[in-house]
Every structure is written in structure tokens, then in C-alpha cells.
Structure 1
Amino acid sequence: MKSIVVFCGSSEGTNSQYAEKAYQLGETFANKEIQLVYGGAKIGIMGKVAEGVLSNGGKAIGVIPQFLKKKEVVHESLTELIVTQNMHERKLKMHDLSDGILMLPGGFGTLEEFFEMLTWAQLGLHQYPIGILNINGFYDSLLKMMGDMVDEGFVKHEHINTILVDDNIEKLLEKMQKYQPLPTPKWINKEQL
């Protein structure tokens, strides 16, 4: 993996571990020469990941829609800042710039971005590894809910197993590096990938 999109909060949350681990993730990206693709802000744990990358000589690309550029505090020191027309274009651009997907703690927007990418994988539209850095058990309830979806017949077991989870950065990145994607569904035209 050369470039990973990170979805995470524009707030730092109530537990200082979130910001600390976000910075460490950025530092690890820089040390492993993995390019960060993210939402482009300098606030919240989004900003901490970017700070970790940039403070250690790495590359960080921010992708932000025009209307948020006016509201959020945009990071001024990024390797590159891409401004899109809307949220949909933003997600597509983030996807196109990456070969892996990673989620840290965050709110509704973080979940929305993550689940759209997860759905695209389920449909065979990409074959990127998808990871959750489960800092301080933040996503334990969500992981249980996804397990319930399998138990109740709404999600296939093989699709839930494509989500890679760990609370350790190095171990999670190793799982993502070794990821073997599911075969492309028969109904998907391979030219669409």
C-alpha cells in the first residue's frame, strides 16, 4: 500500500488517546512512506493524523468540498489540497487517490464515509483492504452490531470478514498489507473496477 485514505473525526473526542494514536498513525505512515489522503482539516483527530505525517517528512493530501472549506479550518501546510464541488465528488476522489481505507474514531460523517467504501467493496467496485483502528474499544458496539447483521441474515459472513480490526497500528497495517480480496462478484463487469 502506497496511499491510504483515513476517515476520522473533526473533533478530538473526550479521550486523549484518540489524538495521541492519530498522531502516531501519521508518524507511522511517514516512516513507512505511506501517503495520507484525508478530509483536509487541521482540527480534530483529522488534524493530528496530518500533523503526524507532515512533522515526520511524509506526504498528506487533503480533499475538501468547497462549502466545507469555508466553514472548517483547512490545513495550510499539506503536500496537496484538492477542493471538490460536493461530498460525493470528495469521496470518489479520496477513493481514487488511495489503495487502502482506514477508520479511526469519529462521528456520523466518519461512519458514512466508511460504510460507503465498505458497500463499494461488497459490490466489487474496489478490492482495497479496509481497516478499523479500534482505539480504546471505540468501535466495539459497532462491531457487535455488524455481527448481529450477519446473524440476522442481512450481511454475508465473508463480507464482514473483509473488515480488518486492531487496536495496534503496526498489527493493523500488517493485516492490511497481507489482505487477500474476495473474488469479484459474477454480476460485476471487471472493466467497472
Structure 2
Amino acid sequence: MNSIAIFCGSTLGSDPVYADAAKKTGKYLAQQGKTLVYGGGRSGLMGIVADSALEAGGKVIGVIPQGLVDRELAHPNLTELHVVTSMHERKTLMADLSDGFIALPGGAGTIEEIFEQWTWAQLGIHLKPCAFLNINGFYDGLLQFIQHTTDQEFTRARFTNALINSTSIEDIVSKFESYQAPQPKWGVQGREDLVKLDT
């Protein structure tokens, strides 16, 4: 578990506790020798988690679409910055560069990103862990909804149980180290294999 992707808000949110959590996350990952992979932005929680990792001597890899670079939203001081052509390419590259995925508080983009990786894990595109850093109960309602989809037999229990939910970045990283992936729906598949299944 060498590289961890962080998905989080490009704004700060309404409570300073979110910024505090982002700062602690970046610092802790750097202290543990983990490479931070994130969306390459300089604003909001994204900027804080990157800055705190860099200040602690960590390696930070950003992946950002050219359209956001053109709007001057890219972080200028990262270890590496990959500029891609689209949001789809961004998410694919972040997935390839990362050994696990953590969602800090954020909006629709954050939720979409962590759900895509969780979906890919269910399909066997990868066997990597997904987690919610559930600060201040931010994700309580969403986690209740996920459990509802499980109770209604739309999500298999083994995939719901594999989601890591914690208020502690230390706890999440520890659980990542011992993570055992559940059996995917149809065995391990590459992205190209899943395209074939859809045709």
C-alpha cells in the first residue's frame, strides 16, 4: 500500500473541522511514506491535503484535466502533475496510480469518484479498498442509504461490508494494510473485458 488516492471538496465546507481533517490526512500520509494521489487542484480541501503532505516532506501526484489548468486551478508545486484531456481520463489514471481510495467530505464530484472506484471493485476491475473518512458524521446519511440498497438486495452484503468507514485516517490506513477484497461479481476483469460484457 504505497499510494493512496484522496477524493475531497474543492471548497472548504461550512465547518473548520473538515479543513483540519484534510490537513491531518495529508500530513499523516506523508509521515507514513505514502504517496498522495489527488485531483491536482489548489483550492478547498484539495489544496489543504496537498499542501500538508508537501510540508511534511511527502510525495504528491496530481491529475487534472487541461480545462481546469486553463482556469488556473492547478496546484503549482506538486511532486508530479499529470495533465489529461478529460474527467474520464483523470479518474482512470488516478485509479491506476493508487492502491486505495479515501473520500473526505465533498460534494457530487467526490461522491461520484468514490462510488466509481467502489463499483469497479465490485466488478473486479481492481481489488483495491475504498473508505470514507467520516468526519463529523458527514457521510452518515449516505452510508445509511448504502445499507438500504443492501437490505433491498440491490447491493450484495459483501461489498457493503468491504467499505471502510472511520473517523480516523490512522484507522483507515491500518485497515488498508490488512484489506482482503471480497469476491467480485464475475471474477477479476480488466476494463476492456467489461466493455465486451456490455456489448
Global fold match (TM > 0.5): yes
Cα distance change on mapping 1:4 and 1:189 into 2, 3 Å: closer
Which residue is equivalent to 1:61? Answer: 61
1:153-192 mapped onto 2 (5 Å cutoff): 153-186=153-186, 188-189=188-189
CA-CA distance at 1:73 after TM superposition: 2.1
CA-CA distance at 1:16 after TM superposition: 0.3
- Structure 1: runs of 5 or more not aligned: none
2:102 aligns to what SS in structure 1?
strand
1:11 aligns to what SS in structure 2?
coil
**Which stretches of structure 1, 4 residues or more, deviate above 6 A after TM superposition?**
none
- How big is each residue's C-alpha offset from its partner over 1:25-52, in whole Å with a ceiling of 9 and x where there is no partner? 0000110000000010111001111011
2:165 aligns to what SS in structure 1?
strand
- Provide the C-alpha distance between the structure 2 equivalents of 1:153 and 1:174, rounded to a whole number of angstroms: 30
The CA RMSD over aligned residues, in Å, is 1.6
- How big is each residue's C-alpha offset from its partner over 1:43-83, in whole Å with a ceiling of 9 and x where there is no partner? 10011110110001000001001111122521111001000
CA-CA distance at 1:95 after TM superposition: 0.5
Which residue is equivalent to 2:86? Answer: 86
- Provide the C-alpha distance between the structure 2 equivalents of 1:168 and 1:129, rounded to a whole number of angstroms: 16
Query: In structure 1, what residue type is equivalent to 2:17?
Result: Q
Which residue is equivalent to 1:11? Answer: 11
- Provide the C-alpha distance between the structure 2 equivalents of 1:185 and 1:131, rounded to a whole number of angstroms: 20
Matched-pair contact (CA < 8 Å) for 2:123–2:189: no
- How big is each residue's C-alpha offset from its partner over 1:118-153, in whole Å with a ceiling of 9 and x where there is no partner? 110010110111111001110000000000001111
Cα distance change on mapping 1:180 and 1:188 into 2, 3 Å: closer
Which residue is equivalent to 2:152? Answer: 152
- Provide the C-alpha distance between the structure 2 equivalents of 1:53 and 1:114, rounded to a whole number of angstroms: 21
Which residue is equivalent to 1:44? Answer: 44
Cα distance change on mapping 1:174 and 1:188 into 2, 3 Å: closer
- Provide the C-alpha distance between the structure 2 equivalents of 1:192 and 1:149, rounded to a whole number of angstroms: 26
Which residue is equivalent to 2:106? Answer: 106
Matched-pair contact (CA < 8 Å) for 1:134–1:140: yes
- TM-score scaled by length of structure 2: 0.93
- TM-score scaled by length of structure 1: 0.95
- Provide the C-alpha distance between the structure 1 equivalents of 2:12 and 2:170, rounded to a whole number of angstroms: 22
CA-CA distance at 1:183 after TM superposition: 2.7
Does residue 118 of structure 1 match 2:118? Answer: yes
Matched-pair contact (CA < 8 Å) for 1:41–1:72: no
Sequence identity, in percent? 47
- Provide the C-alpha distance between the structure 2 equivalents of 1:151 and 1:181, rounded to a whole number of angstroms: 21
1:13 aligns to what SS in structure 2?
coil
Which residue is equivalent to 1:35? Answer: 35
CA-CA distance at 1:192 after TM superposition: 5.8
The alignment covers a number of residue pairs equal to 193
Does residue 24 of structure 1 match 2:24? Answer: yes
